[in-house]
């Protein structure tokens, strides 16, 4: 199923959204997709359902699976075009090994089997946990166990799942959990913590978000911007103070001399409110991020400006 994002989303963005490498196996992609889709599904129990983000995750998964199938077809056609020599060589090697094994007898094979079993330890619960296949459901964990899950998990989606569970079941303690972890959270988890803090809308939560308006990472910066802009009077006051939003008169005067053709085009289209444009241009000056990237990051479709 397509939700209209395929024309806008690139393969690189799709892999980045699901947090998987471009050479990942299909099972790894499926596992990441299931975790991500569960978090933002419209029926998510955490109360942090995000229909738009869910649709983007579905689109990313569709793009990646198409890419993997394309690579598999290309690989098969390349193998066929290479002729039968490699297959014959492989058969010869396999036949040579079977003859060698037959000459050495079963004792040698039993010995090698025993060596292999000794060199490969039985999978412990810890080893399984590292693969992400045996993690307990977050709904059964205590607050302290959820914190450990967030801090120790090797997978960003498991971290986000733990954060969502804390917000859902221990909302009054979310600020004290999230704010100290903002500086050391990896990008995807950091974006999520910022967005959830933005929903709390207290002075403390919104104030903790403000420093990330200066981030050179587009997703982090735009996440902080949207959380503060949607944070009511308190959030908007913090936003304007942090980026020093120019007054309408100052914005008009400075624009007479150094406004780019693209910015003029956006203003003329009236697709973006003038207040948001003043704020976004202030963020551009502060971070160096292109205005086009910021507009895209806050959900403005650049195709609508064409």
pLDDT digits (tens, 9 = 90+) for 160-171: 999 999 999 999
Nearest to 67 by CA among 8, 21, 1: 21
- The alpha-carbon radius of gyration of the chain (Å, integer) is 26
Q: Considering the chain, what is the average pLDDT of its residues? A: 82
**Angle of the 218-229 helix axis to the 232-243 helix axis, nearest 10:** 130
Whole-angstrom CA distances from 283 to 178, 229, 269, 302 are 24, 13, 21, 18
Question: What is the sign of the dihedral through the CA atoms of 164, 169, 171 and 177?
Answer: negative
Whole-angstrom CA distances from 9 to 4, 5, 62, 296 are 10, 6, 11, 11
Percent of the chain at pLDDT exceeding 70 = 78
Supply φ then ψ for residue 153, to 5 degrees: -65, 135
Question: What is the sign of the dihedral through the CA atoms of 213, 217, 222 and 227?
Answer: negative
Give ∠ CA 26-132-178 in degrees, rounded to 5.
115
Can you read off the two tokens belonging to residue 215?
A: 């981030």
The answer to whether 191 and 159 are in contact (CB under 8 A) is no
Q: What is the pLDDT of residue 8?
A: 75
Q: What is the pLDDT of residue 32?
A: 93
- CB 4: neighbour CB atoms within 10 A? 8
- What percent of the chain is helix, strand and coil (3-state, nearest 5)? 75, 0, 25
Mean pLDDT of 268-289: 93
Percent of the chain at pLDDT exceeding 90 = 58
Q: Among all chains, which residue has been given the structure tokens 């949207």?
A: 226
Lowest mean pLDDT segment, chosen from 6-15, 204-213, 232-241: 6-15
Mean pLDDT of 143-147: 96
pTM: predicted TM-score of the whole model, two decimal places: 0.75
Answer whether residue 96 shows pLDDT above 50. Answer: no
């Amino acid at each position: 199923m397509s939700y209209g994002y395929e024309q806008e989303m690139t393969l690189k963005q799709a892999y980045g959204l699901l947090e998987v490498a471009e050479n990942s196996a299909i099972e790894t992609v499926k596992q990441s997709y299931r975790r991500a889709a569960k978090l933002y599904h419209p029926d998510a129990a955490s109360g942090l359902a995000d229909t738009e983000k869910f649709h983007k995750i579905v689109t990313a998964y569709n793009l990646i699976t198409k890419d993997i199938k394309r690579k598999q077809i290309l690989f098969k056609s390349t193998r066929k075009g290479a002729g039968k020599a490699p297959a014959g060589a492989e058969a010869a090697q396999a036949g040579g090994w079977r003859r060698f094994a037959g000459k050495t007898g079963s004792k040698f094979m039993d010995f090698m089997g025993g060596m292999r079993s000794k060199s490969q330890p039985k999978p412990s619960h810890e080893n399984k946990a590292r693969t992400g296949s045996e993690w307990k459901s977050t709904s059964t964990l205590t607050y302290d166990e959820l914190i450990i899950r967030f801090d120790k998990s090797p997978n960003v989606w498991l971290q986000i799942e733990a954060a969502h569970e804390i917000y859902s079941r221990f909302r009054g303690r979310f600020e004290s959990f999230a704010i100290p972890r903002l500086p050391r959270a990896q990008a995807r988890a950091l974006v999520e913590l910022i967005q959830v803090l933005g929903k709390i809308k207290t002075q403390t939560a919104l104030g903790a978000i403000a420093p990330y308006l200066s981030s050179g990472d587009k997703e982090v910066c735009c996440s902080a911007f949207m959380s503060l802009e949607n944070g009511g009077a308190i959030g908007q006051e913090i936003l304007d103070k942090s980026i020093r939003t120019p007054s309408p008169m100052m914005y008009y005067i400075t624009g007479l001399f150094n406004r780019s053709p693209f910015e003029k085009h956006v203003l003329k289209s009236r697709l973006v409110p003038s207040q948001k444009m003043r704020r976004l241009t202030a963020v551009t000056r502060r971070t160096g991020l292109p205005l086009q990237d910021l507009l895209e990051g806050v959900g403005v479709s650049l195709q609508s400006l064409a």
